[in-house]
Amino acid sequence: MKLAALGFAAALAVPAQAQDAAKEIQRYRQMVAEGSPAELFELEGEALWKKPQGPKNASLERCDLGEGPGVLKAAYAHLPRYFKDADRVMDLETRLLHCMTTLQARTREEATKRVFGSADRPSEFESLSAYIAGQSRGAKIEPGMAHAKEKASYELGRALYLQRVGAWDFSCASCHGDEGKRIRMQELPVLQKPEAARAVMASWPAYRVSTSQFITLQWRMNDCYRQMRTPEPTFGSETTVALIHFLTVTARGETYHGPGNKR
């Protein structure tokens, strides 16, 4: 009888502990957000945006992110979208690469040599993403969904999200498809649900405390596929853009408040 009572008490204690842990993680996140180094990356990105580079010795200041050449306000919140000059749907990083190869006349090979940086040396895309995303704070997330290619990109992203691939037969939904799943202490949001996608998409790109790096959505797609043990996706490919497009459309209507913080 005594044993049974103990067992019952132990069974009750577990969820309480998990709840405490979740609360503590919440508190930790709040403390981290109060002094986010993401702002330092925004400053670096601004300098990079204005820095003349490449064979044409041009800056990116005339880059059209969809709101007109050089217009940054709310530009990130309206991406990914269809661009007529490139005849495809592009997310922020893909569009930046397009501007580097056109405005600055850099080769794709040279510009993508180092798309993901390190703690000691962030990549151009990371700093630029921080700066440009920061100019969308307070704007409503409203990615393109009118053009036929935008709709096709969304549908492709949704299909890819559910498509099981690779040696481990994983899809995005294998981890992000059921409520209440965790990877170690990290809760895994069910990203096909708007209520979960909104909070996530409103805070990417973000500063990651554990690695002292600024991380972008292209990095997130790349790293998820690495964890799924697939071949490495190409930076700015139709696949990665479609997934980002699908997630952003799922989150539409939310007010953008990034660049955020990750554990």
Residues with catalytic roles: 224
Cβ-based nearer residue to other proteins, 87 or 120: 120
Task: Write out the binding residues for other proteins, residues 98-117 only, by CB under 8 A.
Answer: none
Closest separation between CB of residue 208 and other proteins, Å?
A: 11
Task: Write out the binding residues for other proteins, residues 32-51 only, by CB under 8 A.
Answer: 34-37, 39-40, 43-44
Query: Looking at residue 77, what DSSP letter applies?
Result: G
In the block, tokens 């479609």 appear at 242
Contact call for residue 85 and other proteins (CB under 8 A): no
Tell me how far the alpha carbon of residue 156 is from its chain's centroid.
18
Q: What is the CA radius of gyration of the chain?
A: 20
Cβ-based nearer residue to other proteins, 37 or 194: 37
59 vs 148: CA distance, rounded Å? 32
User: Measured at the alpha carbon of residue 181, what is the angle toward residues 176 and 184, in degrees to the nearest 5?
Assistant: 110
Contact call for residue 119 and other proteins (CB under 8 A): yes
Closest separation between CB of residue 210 and other proteins, Å?
A: 10
| Candidate ranges 28-36, 72-80, 146-154, 225-233; the one touching other proteins (CB under 8 A) | 28-36
The helix or strand, by DSSP H or E, that contains position 95, with its residue range, turns out to be helix 92-102
Residues facing residue 58 across a β-bridge: 53
**Distinct helix (H) and strand (E) counts, the chain:** 10, 7
Number of residues that bind other proteins (CB under 8 A): 11
Cβ-based nearer residue to other proteins, 43 or 162: 43
Q: How many beta carbons lie within 10 A of that of residue 192, not counting itself?
A: 17
Binding mask of the shown chain, residues 178 to 217, with x at each position contacting other proteins by CB under 8 A: ----------------------------------x-----
Contact call for residue 70 and other proteins (CB under 8 A): no
Query: Helix/strand/coil (H, E, C) string of 46-71?
Result: HHHHCCCECCCCECCCCCECCCCECC
Summarize as ranges the residues that interact with other proteins (CB under 8 A).
34-37, 39-40, 43-44, 119-120, 212
